Structure 1
Amino acid sequence: MDNVLPCNVEDRLQELLLDDEETNIGNDELPVTFKDVQPGGKYVQKCCAFAQKVAIIIPYGDRKEQLDTVVRHLHRLLQSQHLCYGIYVSELAYPTVFNKGLLMNVAYLTARDEGHYDCYIFHDVDLISQKERHLYICGEKPNHMSSFNTKFGGLPYIKYIGGVLALNDTHVRVVNGFSNLLFGWGGEDDVMEMRIADKHLGLTRVSADIGRYKALPHDRDKGNPVNNDRYKMYRTLRKHTDQDGLTSLAGLYELLKVERRPLYTWIYIKCNKTEVLQKNKNIVFG
């Protein structure tokens, strides 16, 4: 690893906690050197020697301005924390309805196969952390990082774990990733909360002061209508965790392109909603 620094996560946390003058950070307030970012959005310069290697996974659809804002902010934040990292953005070809869970599973496998990461942070495209001291690392338990969302004035409900969620590789494999069967807005985060609970992994959540995120305003995505069937699907999806997720991903999508863009790796896939649901009809209609 190039330019490894003689520090560790605890050193960096203590350094940030001692900064009593810290205020909320904006889009352009953290130092960053984009010239040190390798193609595909990977950064290996000036990392703490014992820090985790982190993959940021962003499921994306039709929000280019938000994506550019969030990716640049993440580079600033992660470099300020002396982390080695890679940023992965997965997109589903239109006109298939958005499937956040499937996109995150595909991006996870891509990142795992090429980066050997210690920590995977599943990150909505419209959220910006407002605290530099909010470390982007994994712990012994799954960690809900976005404990305060300005869109909701906190959390929309107590079991909500959407927004930004940190899982180490063991966590992801134990819960079999996300469900592949929820098309449209809503449901995948609730099902993940059930999986974490059912597998007895536990869950941590940082304080609302540290886990404060600004939600960037946006209109409803044209390819992401509300999934009105999600509540009816919860019970059967919960019974089939081991059959719906990473283990069933093969054959559900076609990889169209992987591009090493300057600030992130772009993963472009296509799938057919009808075919995906039909292949899993025993789960969907079970």
Structure 2
Amino acid sequence: MGPREDEGTPGRPSAILGGRNCYYEPEDSNFTDVETDLEKEDQGSGHKLAVLVPYRDRFEELMEFIPHMQNFLKIQKIEHKIYVLNQVDSYRFNRAALINVGFELSMLDGSDYIVMNDVDILPLNQELSYEFPTKGPVHLAAPNLHPMYHFPQFLGAIVVLTRSQFKHIDGMSNKYWGWGVEDDELYLRLTHAGFNISRPENISTGIHNTFRQVTENIVINIFRK
């Protein structure tokens, strides 16, 4: 997702998801554990994936993304629901806060794991599995496969986590407005919590043909500290 040049930070911006208005606070979220059937990890009855898509002003990409992902996940026989998390205010983009909103709503809908999937990157190789990540978080858009970002700590674009993994790290930080950094903090949260982040191995494609980057005519600063 690209940066917004609007200055300032909001007090309580809004997002629209599935026709509903949702609100989030610009502080780190504090997820609470409630012992209900919904909060218990699914054991053998089938998993449900929530595809969380942070979004703003990318309509053409979205129109390509949704049918592509529906077909991609149908081939893998993944039960799923796509959440388009649309930030409707004029402030700088807050990808992490949108993902936190989507996580909360997807749990109410019965999903037991999520994938954070940017709208402008499409998986092409069916060897990229969106299945339930039983052994820990999975970074599908690995540095050796992503068409643009190749530094070892890169943890953006497409990340799969279970409900319990996301809650264990208290979600993502809401503090970052604009482009980047939130995925760097996600990497730190996961590694500091002791999670082993896995990435695709021994697949038949590489940097140029594992994904398709659909964003065009956008200048992105890829130099990261």
TM-score (structure 2 length as normaliser): 0.71
**Cα distance 1:202–1:117, how it changes in 2: closer, same or farther (>3 A)?**
same
Cα distance in 1 for partners of 2:217, 2:106 equals 30
Aligned equivalent of 2:74: 79
Q: Does 1:202 align with 2:196?
A: yes
- Pick closer, same or farther for the CA change 1:219–1:177 going to 2, 3 Å: farther
Q: Name the CA distance, whole Å, in 2 between partners of 1:130 and 1:90.
A: 23
The aligned counterpart of 1:149 is 146
Structure with greater helix percent: 1
In structure 2, the partner of 1:190 is 184
Gaps of 5+ in 2: 1-17, 19-43
The answer to whether the 8 A contact 2:137-2:161 is kept is yes
For residues 66-109 of structure 1, what are the alpha-carbon distances to aligned partners after superposition, in whole Å with 9 as ceiling and x for unaligned?
01111110000111111211000111123111000001100111
State percent identity of aligned pairs: 24
Residues 1:218 and 2:216 aligned together: yes
Contact 1:134–1:210 (CA under 8 A) maintained in structure 2 = no
Q: Report the CA distance shift for 1:105/1:210 in structure 2 as closer, same or farther (over 3 A).
A: farther
Match of 2:211, SS state, is strand
Relative to structure 1, is the Cα distance of residues 134 and 197 closer, same or farther in structure 2, using a 3 angstrom cutoff? same
Partner in structure 2 of residue 62 of structure 1: 57
Contact 2:127–2:203 (8 Å) recurs in 1? no
Kindly state the Cα deviation for residue 51 of structure 1 after the two structures are TM-superposed: 4.1
Cα shift at 1:132: 1.9
How many residue pairs are counted as aligned between the two chains? 175
Q: 1:103 is aligned with what amino acid?
A: L
- Could you list the runs of 5+ residues in structure 1 that have no partner in the other structure? 1-39, 41-48, 232-286
Match of 2:8 in 1: none
Which structure is larger by alpha-carbon Rg, 1 or 2? Answer: 1
Return the match for 1:89 from 71, 79, 84.
84
* Structure 1 residue runs of 4 or more that deviate by more than 3 Å after TM superposition: 208-211
Distance 2:213 2:46 in 1: 28
| Contact 1:145-1:164 at 8 Å conserved across structures | yes
Give 1:214 shift: 1.4
CA contact (8 A) 1:51 1:83 kept: no
Could you state the TM-score of these two structures normalised by the residue count of structure 1?
A: 0.57
1:163 to 134, 157, 161: 157
Q: CA deviation at 1:60?
A: 0.4
Question: Would the aligned equivalents of 1:119 and 1:137 in 2 still touch at CA under 8 Å?
Answer: no
Report how far residue 50 of structure 1 moved. 5.2
